Amino acid sequence: MSPQLQVADPVTANAVQAVRKASDFMLHRQHTAGFWWEDLTADTTLESDYILFQLWLHRVENGVWNPPNREIIDRAVASIFSRQLDDGGFNIYPQGPAEVSACVKAYFSLKVAGTAAEDPRMVRLRDRIQDLGGLQAANSYTKLNLSLFGLYPRDCVPSVPPEMILLGNFIYEISSWSRAIVIPLSIIASSNVRCPIPAGFTLDELIKDGAAFDFRPAEKFWTFKNFFYTADSVLKIYEGSPLKNLLRPMSIQRCEAWMLERLEHSDGLAAIYPPMMYTVMAMDVLGYTKDDPRRVDALKHFDNLMVDDDTKGFYFQPCFSVVWDTAIAAYALAEVEASPVSSDLQQSLNRCADWLLTKECRRKGDWAVKRPNLEPSGWYFEFANEFYPDIDDTAMVLIGLDKAQATNRTAQEAAARRAVNWLLGMQGKDGGWAAFDVDNNWYFLGDVPFADHNAMLDPSCPDITGRVMDALTRYGIGANHPAVRKGIEYLIQSQEQDGSWYGRWGVNYVYGTFLALKGLRQAGVSDREVYILRAGEWLRSVQNADGGWGESCRSYDEHRFVEGPSTASQTAWAVMGLLAGGDETSESVRKGVEYLIRTQREDGNWDEELATGTGFPKVFYLTYHMYRNAFPMMALAMYLNRGKAAH
């Protein structure tokens, strides 16, 4: 960069220094093998479920619970209490309000772990649960878990019948993560097991007087909710009928086989917390011994999610985000290398590319049910999860590999070619792309009684569609390709009235708008198109006074943008969205860049305590510790690269 430019444009000069510090920080975080891996954190429900799981694993004897890992359970208790809100409750995202299911889970786990009900913290929590509707207001999975211990009436929780697996490809019409939860859970629920609890233990104090225990819908006319309620009533009759003896054993055998098959080449079922926990519980129901290698391995993978560190504290990760983190880091560093920052990053990017190539999926997974003739490829999110490569990770890896050269260039080109073909084959009928599956959009299944985790389906979404288009166009899939044309049309049709786009996997409209604009820019759409101009105007309209951008997780509840405190990652998304939309010189862009420069820490990273990642909208949110460094660095580098061809 010339001295004249630095003097004439101090913002640019400061951006160069910020990018240099950020890239130095990032390079020092790379593991020797070539990957990046930062923590992925969530709310207290993970620690609460861990204590419930320990009550299952280490059974109560003679009315007394004396688990051998008491010290770890005590650390889980301390971790939960450390996040209690002033009103006594627990939230599902930082700075959010108390949420009833998180509160109920916390109360149960804290009490069963030995905290006295008279403890002032428990009294405040109990009062908050009552204010939120009591035990009966918790979601279905909370009630199902409690029913396993006789703490919620079994006939008042939704049925999860293993017979679902006999209905052809029905289970592949629900989302991959729900599928992985439901199959082992159906084995557990069908057993009618009642795990012992400590003598005298009860949750009666959480019961709300006058509130119903069952899940009967309020509608008096025909709806899918009423239909599924009727079906559930029939299932409960079936439970006591002779027909059950004909179908149930076969169903459980098939569920077991399905589960065991997906443990192969994976670090646990679907490599995410809930199915991994339910897998061990299902094995116990099926009679596996504690030293059975399959159970030992399943429990080991679950325990690996635990972080128990003197510096970091005690918490559970919902899964490992290593492939995702690595691809984002590669993309960010590639932007840095293309910027005026004088850096030679190729050695780091080469090691990264070599590692990513080892993670390409070469086996058919659940996705192949709907795409049986498609050659396997793609990347998953975690260290090992062969049955579940996902479209978002695959696109992100392709973008990361675009400027990162592996040692074996021929192998890299072959992998990229396979992955591009896989992405093309995974496009939905609506022109968009989802996360794991194709046309997973039977919306009426959202009314199934056990579907109140708000993630029963995996339909196309604008954020993934934008990223896929960004990836495809880097590998020779031009604007005139039918898949790109359909993707552009999908994004035009899915734009919100205010000019934004919904973000399914990041919070929320800022994320969706950034990725939609990025994909459209990469696909060659003119920044003079009305819908592009409207999106840019919307981004500028929601900028905070401090120059940054912030959006609350509450936006999912209200189906509209809800302002939040500025965060590093959301500010970076907005800046990149504006740049992609052709806005390279506005005051909004400059102020956003200045915000990122001003808030950078001395070590090159940024602070970010709020959740900007989305697991299940309205239910489960994520804090990606990679986001706070990678996206601001990426945005600042793109700012320095403005005026060049699409990035």
DSSP per position, 603-646:
TS-----S--EEEETTTEEEEETTHHHHHHHHHHHHHHTTTSS-
- Residues 368-383 have pLDDT tens digits of 999 999 999 999 999 9
Per the structure block, which two tokens stand in for 376? 């396997």
Per the structure block, which two tokens stand in for 49? 């479920």
Task: List the domain boundaries for the chain.
Answer: 15-41+318-426+461-640, 45-316
Q: What percent of the chain has pLDDT over 90?
A: 90
pTM above 0.85, yes or no: yes
pLDDT at 479 over 80: yes
pLDDT of residue 515: 98
pLDDT at 215 over 90: no
Q: What percent of the chain has pLDDT over 70?
A: 97
Q: How far is CA 527 from CA 192, 272, 467, 524, in A?
A: 60, 40, 18, 9
1.50.10.20, 2.40.30.270, 1.20.81.30, 3.40.50.10190: CATH of 15-41+318-426+461-640 = 1.50.10.20
The residue type of 223 is T
Identify which has the larger pLDDT, 226 or 147: 147
According to the CATH classification, is domain 45-316 in 3.50.50.60?
A: no
Q: Is 392 a catalytic residue?
A: yes
Task: Average the pLDDT over 611-618 and give the result.
Answer: 97
pLDDT of residue 646: 45
pLDDT at 227 over 90: no
pLDDT at 424 over 80: yes
**Helices of type H across 523-586:** 530-541, 554-558, 568-580
The residue type of 380 is Y
Task: Average the pLDDT over 282-303 and give the result.
Answer: 98
pLDDT at 5 over 60: no
If pLDDT is split at 50, 70 and 90, which confidence band does 606 have?
very high
Which residues share a beta bridge with 316?
A: 306
pLDDT at 147 over 80: yes
If pLDDT is split at 50, 70 and 90, which confidence band does 219 have?
low
Task: Average the pLDDT over 105-124 and give the result.
Answer: 98
Task: Average the pLDDT over 330-335 and give the result.
Answer: 96
Query: Long-range contacts of range 211-214, CB-CB < 8 Å, 24 or more positions apart?
Result: 211/133, 211/134, 211/136, 211/137, 212/136, 213/136, 213/152, 213/153, 213/156, 214/155, 214/156
Q: How far apart are the C-alpha atoms of 578 and 334, rounded to whole Å? A: 20
pLDDT at 217 over 80: no
Task: Average the pLDDT over 512-541 and give the result.
Answer: 98
- Active-site option among 392, 393, 430, 452: 392
Task: Average the pLDDT over 560-573 and give the result.
Answer: 98
If pLDDT is split at 50, 70 and 90, which confidence band does 334 have?
very high
Query: Do 15-41+318-426+461-640 and 45-316 fold alike per CATH?
Result: yes
If pLDDT is split at 50, 70 and 90, which confidence band does 188 have?
very high
pLDDT averaged over every residue in the chain: 95
pLDDT at 513 over 60: yes
Q: How far apart are the C-alpha atoms of 575 and 599, rounded to whole Å? A: 15
pLDDT of residue 7: 41
Pick the range with the lowest mean pLDDT from 20-29, 387-396, 445-454, 588-597. Answer: 445-454
pLDDT at 68 over 80: yes
pLDDT at 2 over 50: no
Beta pairing class for 613-616 and 313-316: unpaired
Which residue in this structure is represented by tokens 């659940």? 366
Task: Average the pLDDT over 528-549 and give the result.
Answer: 98
Q: How far apart are the C-alpha atoms of 506 and 512, rounded to whole Å? A: 7
Task: Average the pLDDT over 433-440 and give the result.
Answer: 98
